[in-house]
């Protein structure tokens, strides 16, 4: 989910700049520095969101609310606080988290290098205006579809429901998949994210090095 959240944050960091920066986008060396700076900014913002989420999660444990989740019928698909992953599951979970964190960089690098094109600076909005908003929106949707629809709703949901003993009502195909695959769900998820990272990093790096029309 943090990868999806990074999309609007990164785009906002690009457009929220001064009029003078437009000329710097035309220079290859300065452009690389700008993009790296924006990537660090996006990472910093996402790190803040992660830390806030971690604090909230810790409060749930300290207040005992997580124990309420274990017994409440309102949260039938929450993995128990007593859930102990196997060594393989723990390794795969950590791998998925690390690869997902890397995706924040690679995804941002990809659609910045491939699609971002500055049209002008708007004094009224005090921000840069992008020339191909629909293309950027489509690229953002691809990231959203992969990480939210494919990975979160299907693979993560299958693993969570299987481990929590939750109901697969309306999603019976996930039950069969989870029972046969179990921790292989995490392996498949990690493999998909790894391929995504390699492809987006490669395409993004090539585009940033070769593209010249970052300003229309």
pLDDT digits (tens, 9 = 90+) for 118-143: 999 999 888 999 887 777 788 778 88
What is d(CA 8, CA 183) in angstroms, rounded to the nearest whole number?
A: 32
Per the structure, the complete domain to which residue 66 belongs is given by: 2-210
What is d(CA 27, CA 24) in angstroms, rounded to the nearest whole number?
A: 5
CA distance readout (Å), 189 to 96, 176, 183, 214: 7, 17, 10, 34
Residue that is written with structure tokens 């996402």 in the block: 46
Is residue 157 assigned to a domain?
yes
Cβ(139)–Cβ(115) below 8 Å: yes
pLDDT at 83: 59
What is d(CA 126, CA 70) in angstroms, rounded to the nearest whole number?
A: 49
Look up residue 163 and give its two tokens: 């481990």
Q: Using 50, 70 and 90 to split pLDDT, how confident is the model at 82? A: low
pLDDT at 166: 59
Is residue 216 assigned to a domain?
no
β-bridge partners, 127: 122
Per-residue pLDDT tens over the stretch 5-34:
888 888 899 999 989 999 999 998 899 999
Q: Which residue has the higher pLDDT, 68 or 215?
A: 215
* Domains of the chain: total: 1
Is residue 178 assigned to a domain?
yes
Is residue 215 assigned to a domain?
no
């Amino acid at each position: 989910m943090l990868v999806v959240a990074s999309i609007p944050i990164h785009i906002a960091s690009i457009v929220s700049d001064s009029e003078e920066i437009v000329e710097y986008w035309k220079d290859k060396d300065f452009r690389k520095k700008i993009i790296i700076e924006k990537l660090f900014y996006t990472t910093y913002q996402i790190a803040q969101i992660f830390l806030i989420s971690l604090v909230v999660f810790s409060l749930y444990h300290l207040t005992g609310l997580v124990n309420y989740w274990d017994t409440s019928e309102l949260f039938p698909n929450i993995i128990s606080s007593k859930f102990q992953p196997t060594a393989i599951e723990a390794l795969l979970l950590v791998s998925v988290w690390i690869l997902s964190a890397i995706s924040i960089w690679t995804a941002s690098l990809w659609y910045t290098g491939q699609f971002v094109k500055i049209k002008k600076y708007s004094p009224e909005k005090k921000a840069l205006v992008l020339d191909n908003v629909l293309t950027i929106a489509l690229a953002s949707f691809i990231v959203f579809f992969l990480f939210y629809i494919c990975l979160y709703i299907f693979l993560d949901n299958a693993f969570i429901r299987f481990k929590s003993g939750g109901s697969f009502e309306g999603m019976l195909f996930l039950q069969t998949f989870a029972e046969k695959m179990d921790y292989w769900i995490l392996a498949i998820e990690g493999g998909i994210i790894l391929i995504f990272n390699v492809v987006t990093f490669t395409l993004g790096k090539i585009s940033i090095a070769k593209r010249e029309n970052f300003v229309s």
